[in-house]
Amino acid sequence: MSNARAEPQILSWKVGGMDCPSCAATIRGAVERLPGVSDVKVSVMSELLTLSLDEARTGREAVEKRVAGLGYTTAPIASKAVSAKPEPTACGCGHDHSHAGHDHGDHEHGDHGHHDHAAGGHDHSHDHAPVKASAAAAAKADHGHGLPGHVHEATPDGVSWYQTNKGRLVLVTGALLAAAWSASLLWPAASYWAFVAACLIGVAPVARRAFAAARAGMPFTIEMLMTIAAAGALVIGAAEEAALVVFLFAVGEVLEGVAADRARASIRALGDLVPKTALVEENGQTRQVDAAALMIGQTVLVRPGDRIPADGEITSGVSGIDESPVTGESVPKTKGVGEPVFAGSVNSEAALRIRVTKAAEDNTIARIIRLVEEAQEARAPTERFIDRFSRVYMPAIVGLALLVALAPPLFFGGEWSVWIYRALALLLIGCPCALVISVPAAIAASLSAGARQGLLMKGGVVIEAAAKTGVAAFDKTGTLTEGRPRVTEIVALGRPEREVVELAAAVETGSSHPLALAILDRARTQAVPVRPADDGSAIAGQGVVGTLGGVAIFVGAPRHAVARARFDDAANAAVERLESSGKTVAAVIADGALAGLIALRDEPREDAAAGIAELKALGVRSLMLTGDNARTGAAIAGSLGMEHQAELMPDGKVTAIKSLAATTPVMMIGDGINDAPALAAASIGVAMGSGTDVALETADGAVLKSRVRDVAAMIRLARATMGNIRVNIAIALGLKAVFLVTSVLGYTGLWVAILADTGATVIVTANALRLLRFDAGRAG
């Protein structure tokens, strides 16, 4: 027999019955005490238990038995579902770097596109180091979850609350309670035993779970408090109140389960956007397959009106794609061959053939869902404090209840039954469930609402940091601006405007340089015919030349063009005016004479000015950090009404961020790839981008619609969430304080105590769920 010990395996189970952090804490605490079990992770949002198990010491059946003993159901999940999170991919932008002959002006194209085209003034550094995931780090920093609490049962899809075990228990105990009250009218002698029966039947499953948790090393659970209170009430003859307390406790659990399921429903709805089947095309034939089984490299046919079943690349066809399920952007985008598409998007116009580029578990919507689920583990500092507080609070409440039960009868001649009754009421009102759930319920609702609006924040720690933001630092290219140059102005000098465009477009045809593409785009916009120039070539460091209809053409920077044509005062003044406003200028020379000037600039996004104004209204200072030259930086920042720092290398951006962070929390907004060091240095790093791998996997948050206004929306959502949490904590502690006093003084009894506890829990949960309807995009 071999003595070799098997390597621990990563195993995963779907757990039924979780709907609050206390459930996760109960399972985690019970399972991690088993020998050979380590790295236990429990996600309430995804109802998932993942752990590392040495089966030579403990079998997986023992894990399932331990969880089942706590009142939960388990279903093993195939090991592929527990795959490690994919590494951030390196930049694969595929831009053409070769157009060396272009030199349209002093800016050397540094501000345009995402690569340094022989330019010193480029705004990005191409440092691809992954961004520090501060949320993940915070999650790892504190593994201790709070008080073991209620065992809840989530309502499965299509199953009503009364069809669940908890629902049936409520109906049975309610019926027994009604029967006992009826018996008290018709047969008073038997009514006491009817109430006893209702209490015992209702408390039995609660007691079973309480003792299972105690055997697992967790005696201070809410189930144990409930069991002690019910048993104590029966001992002192308060059977009617004991039965009522058990019934109200069960009702509270059902209400909490329904409320928690509503929070999960918004995430489930995202998953439902991806179609269940797909049409795979092979050898000219199509066949229907399960969308989850699609493999990378397969070609799928997507008909007009159908949802796209996988992330992929169009290989045939042109159509309008509605990407609102992924990005929230309502206007369809026209896409053609070679362009990427996302699973769950709607093909609105024509048939498309799409090559699958990502497996089902790695498509954009699946990653968004996974990130939101994982974000539940990145708990807010407030939540971690409450968890630590609760671990001390529970034993303190039990000790106080014992003091109330024993001290007055022993030392002051009090009546035993009266003070035991008050101590039992104190136990019930002392249950910290409302306090424990006050933070995670709000965080879960906020994450769900944000995901639906294209705002991703990785957990409570990120939400709390975003709410405190005092400075929003923006990268320029691709963040505040569109990331590609556009022709902003044409100055006709020796020839008409259309002819200037035609001549420039002729020599730029076939080039993939950003400035060339901008000129060709302007020609298309003005319906100028584009004919390729003859003998076209690039002159390194100067520009491009060619001939069209016998006319010799040169397009390049004015400083190189002056050697080929005369610039009069008007031409020189025009060049100075355009360059002083941060624009790149291309001079067009035809047959040795200046035909005209073309001004290009990477323009701010349409919503950039409005986004900066909204941040200012929120009291957040805006700052642009750019590697571009000072003149361009000043022009863009001035048009948006914000501060700026220009000509910064990547380490310069980090220095600027650290300097700002010394006095106030800083949010850095960048493209998620080139600004990695600055994103990592900030209090919270937010990536702009429609679901790119790097944007989703590395930053603390992401703005999927690539809108500047959504930065203000993210801060508004974060502040609303923290305000909601403060209200929840006030409700939970306020009600506790009032009823603790009234219970000790004897003004309120057992049923009022449990009603107050359940009521507080339902109130804070309902208040948190209001965030699901929060419109983060609405200013004011």
Average pLDDT estimate for 392-410: 85
User: What per-residue confidence (pLDDT) applies to 85?
Assistant: 37
Let me know how many helices (H) and strands (E) the chain has, helices first: 24, 26
Task: Count CB-CB contacts under 10 A for residue 93.
Answer: 10
pLDDT surpasses 70 at 736: yes
User: Where is pLDDT greater, at 495 or 142?
Assistant: 495
User: What per-residue confidence (pLDDT) applies to 316?
Assistant: 92
* CA end-to-end distance (rounded Å), the chain: 73
User: What per-residue confidence (pLDDT) applies to 138?
Assistant: 36
CA contacts within 13 A on the Cβ side of 239: 17
pLDDT surpasses 60 at 455: yes
Least confident of 93-97, 262-266, 348-352, 437-441: 93-97
Helix (H) or strand (E) holding 381: helix 381-412
Average pLDDT estimate for 570-594: 91
Q: Which of 431, 284, 370 is nearest to 41 (CA)?
A: 370
pLDDT surpasses 90 at 618: yes
Beta pairing, strands 346-347 & 352-356: unpaired
pLDDT band with cut points at 50, 70 and 90 for residue 352: very high
> pLDDT (tens digit, 9 = 90+) per residue, 84-97?
333 333 333 333 33
User: What per-residue confidence (pLDDT) applies to 189?
Assistant: 72
Q: Which range scores top for mean pLDDT: 87-91, 161-165, 424-428, 524-528?
A: 524-528
User: What per-residue confidence (pLDDT) applies to 503?
Assistant: 95
Task: Count CB-CB contacts under 10 A for residue 40.
Answer: 21
User: What per-residue confidence (pLDDT) applies to 135?
Assistant: 36
User: What per-residue confidence (pLDDT) applies to 510?
Assistant: 82
CA angle 72, 74, 75 (to 5 degrees): 160
User: Where is pLDDT greater, at 406 or 432?
Assistant: 406
Task: Count CB-CB contacts under 10 A for residue 336.
Answer: 11
User: What per-residue confidence (pLDDT) applies to 21?
Assistant: 65
User: What per-residue confidence (pLDDT) applies to 163?
Assistant: 67
Least confident of 88-92, 187-191, 388-392, 646-650: 88-92
> pLDDT (tens digit, 9 = 90+) per residue, 651-695?
788 889 989 988 999 999 987 555 767 887 888 989 887 545 555
Q: In Å, what is the CA distance from 262 to each residue of 71, 519, 686, 765, 767?
A: 22, 52, 28, 11, 13
- Distance CA(741)–CA(370), nearest Å, equals 44
φ, ψ for residue 307, nearest 5 deg: -85, 145
User: What per-residue confidence (pLDDT) applies to 101?
Assistant: 42
At 246, list the tokens: 């058990």
At 71, list the tokens: 């009142």
pLDDT band with cut points at 50, 70 and 90 for residue 379: low
DSSP reduced 3-state for 600: strand
Average pLDDT estimate for 31-56: 85
User: What per-residue confidence (pLDDT) applies to 102?
Assistant: 46
Beta pairing, strands 593-601 & 584-590: antiparallel
Position 584, amino acid: T
φ, ψ for residue 453, nearest 5 deg: -100, 10
pLDDT surpasses 60 at 106: no
Sign of the CA dihedral running 133, 135, 139, 142: positive
Active site residues: 475
pLDDT band with cut points at 50, 70 and 90 for residue 295: very high
Least confident of 12-16, 308-312, 496-500: 12-16
Q: Which range scores top for mean pLDDT: 106-120, 127-141, 382-396?
A: 382-396
At 341, list the tokens: 């598409």
User: What per-residue confidence (pLDDT) applies to 114?
Assistant: 35
Position 760, amino acid: A
pLDDT surpasses 90 at 489: yes
Q: In Å, what is the CA distance from 509 to each residue of 30, 40, 484, 524?
A: 69, 59, 17, 12
User: What per-residue confidence (pLDDT) applies to 368?
Assistant: 72
**Partner residues linked to 667 by β-bridges:** 472, 684
Q: What percent of the chain has pLDDT over 90?
A: 25
Mean pLDDT score of the chain, rounded to an integer?
A: 78
DSSP reduced 3-state for 663: coil
